[in-house]
Amino acid sequence: MRQLIWISLVTLMIQGCSSSSQSHTTRRAPLSPYQRQLQEADAHFTKQIEAGSSSNVSAAYLERGKTRLALAEYEEAIADLKTAIQLAPENAEAYAALSVCYHMQGKPYDELVARGWSEYYQGQIQAMQASFNAAINVESRRPEGWIGRSKSYVALGKIDAGLKDLDMAVRLEPQSLDARFQRGQLLSSQGKPDLALIDVDQVLAKKADHYEARFLRGAIYEDQERHDHALIELNLVLREMPKHVKAYMKRSQVYLMKGQSDLAIEDAKRIALLDPGNPYASIIRGIVSFKQGQLDEAIQHFDSGVRTSVEYSANALMVYDQIIRDHPELGAAHHARAIAYYQSGRFLDAIREFDVVLTASANDSQAQYDRGMTYARLGKYGDAIKDFEDALVNGHTFKTTVLSGEQLNRISPTSGSWESPAARIGGMRNPDIHWNLAWAYYSTGQYGRSAEVLGKVTQANRNDHEAFFFYALLNAKLGYLKAAINFATYASQLAPTIEIYKTTATELVKLEKARDRAQFESLILGGLAVIVGSAVVDEERCDKTPGCRQKRLQETLDDMERQRRKAIDDFMTRQLLGR
């Protein structure tokens, strides 16, 4: 994406240069067809902006800004691009276009700053840091470079370095709201609320409608248990920004602490509407139900939240421990506690809890599925297969548990395999039972059964690129090379940005062509080839032996097939283990 953005903008820059040369002449030359198209585009986007007919006004400003950049109307382009960024702050393309504008104006510092933010929103943190380093070298007395570099340090986990850069930015420009707000955020995250409030208060004193700063002040007040003050701030935020999910989350906490459970539930409902699947809505309901003694509902709500996010596992475990202590007969509590253990990476504890559930209810398909997932995380695929098969006998639909990215990076169920592509795509993070059964079969060498089960996944969802890639690997393992090529190619078409799909398809094509060429050459040579060590066919004696040439040819082809299969197997192993 980054390359495409820069190619398109460099094209605009070149075309803009050609048109700008005309703007310095005393007599304007006739407009070229390209320039007329640009002016028509400018008028089109202007109408969209003025009429508010565009579904995305930020996109209209971006497109008009790019159009004016091509027309060499740099000040107008900059104004449009800044508006686009104000409406959509994470717009990497708008920052990239802004960088080109500054380049054309001969403003290297502004160019580097804009480029740095474009790189940041494309996830290019190292490149971003290099751009802001260069900006600081060009002009060290302006705060924007220090603010930007601090963001790169924070993204790299270097909080102290980030704070030092923000200190420098504030020292250079004490009135910089951006520097003070970002420093307030960092100080708050580092457990320094009093220092954070100094910065936040100064921001709000100069800009009362800085609602992110107001939200931050409300969050700090809530952490300090200044609940009434927190409510004032959060209510102001939500009055002006009624879709601010984090403000509802924080306000619901305040309501809970004030004992206003009904209001907390109302905020939980709003969270669920604005952000479907947000686990916090379930956790709020779970807390309220637990406080009201509605244990079944509390277990259900907590389990729903924990299955979606590991973040709430520790809180859920405290609730489950208390429920089980007082009501050990509640099987749902044991099942939910097993899930919380699972999400916390405590797999053996989870297995013990699942055993309790299945001892009491041997045909509980959900418990069988969940225990199977736990066995799979432990690399005990034989046990996982049995549980998955039993679950499919006893049930058809299952609640799933999704590990977070943090858990995926932290947990290592089988040595050396967690970070491999196969671990990521082959069931470690995909909750579908058929997918995981296919992965368990694959891990135990049952490729045919794995392909049979995975076929159900690909039939159910023709857009599941990960399933089709896994299916390609299975077909290659089974020797169906042309089918493997087709499936890998299809996966790369579904997800063209995932490089491993494309390289796998390319390598499989090479293997297939090598096999066909070798077979053809062997047929031409009449099977006269080296087969074992340095032994050479005695051509004259073979001519006198009936069927000798056919036998030698078949032996040659068989040997090539063994080599082909070994090459395929070695390639698949490298792909799976990421080596």
Q: Which of 100, 99, 94, 96 is nearest to 80 (CA)?
A: 94
* pLDDT at residue 463, rounded to an integer: 87
* pLDDT at residue 538, rounded to an integer: 40
Residue listed under structure tokens 């799909």: 501
Give the C-alpha separation, 438 to 426, whole Å.
8
State whether the Cα torsion 461-465-467-472 is positive or negative: positive
Assess contact for 344 and 314: CB atoms under 8 A: yes
Which residues are CB-contacts of 194 (< 8 A; sequence separation ≥ 6)? Answer: none
Assess contact for 422 and 473: CB atoms under 8 A: yes
| pLDDT tens digit at each of 579 positions of the chain | 444 444 454 454 444 444 444 444 445 567 788 888 888 888 988 888 887 755 588 889 999 999 999 999 999 999 999 999 988 888 899 999 999 999 999 999 999 999 999 999 988 999 999 999 999 999 999 999 999 999 999 999 999 999 999 999 999 999 999 999 999 999 999 999 999 999 999 999 999 999 999 999 999 999 999 999 999 999 999 999 999 999 999 999 999 999 999 999 999 999 999 988 888 999 999 999 999 999 999 999 999 999 888 888 888 999 999 999 999 999 999 999 999 999 888 999 999 999 999 999 999 999 999 999 999 888 899 999 999 999 999 988 888 775 544 444 443 333 333 333 444 443 445 668 888 898 899 889 898 999 999 888 888 888 888 888 888 888 888 878 888 889 889 988 988 877 777 787 787 777 777 665 444 434 333 322 222 222 233 434 444 556 655 565 556 556 555 555 555 555 544 544 443
Q: Which of 309, 299, 363 is nearest to 337 (CA)?
A: 299
In 62-137, at which residue ranges do the beta strands (DSSP E only) sit? none
* pLDDT at residue 514, rounded to an integer: 67
* pLDDT at residue 561, rounded to an integer: 54
* pLDDT at residue 227, rounded to an integer: 95
* pLDDT at residue 497, rounded to an integer: 76
Give the C-alpha separation, 424 to 119, whole Å.
26
* pLDDT at residue 432, rounded to an integer: 80
Give the C-alpha separation, 92 to 3, whole Å.
12
* pLDDT at residue 311, rounded to an integer: 82
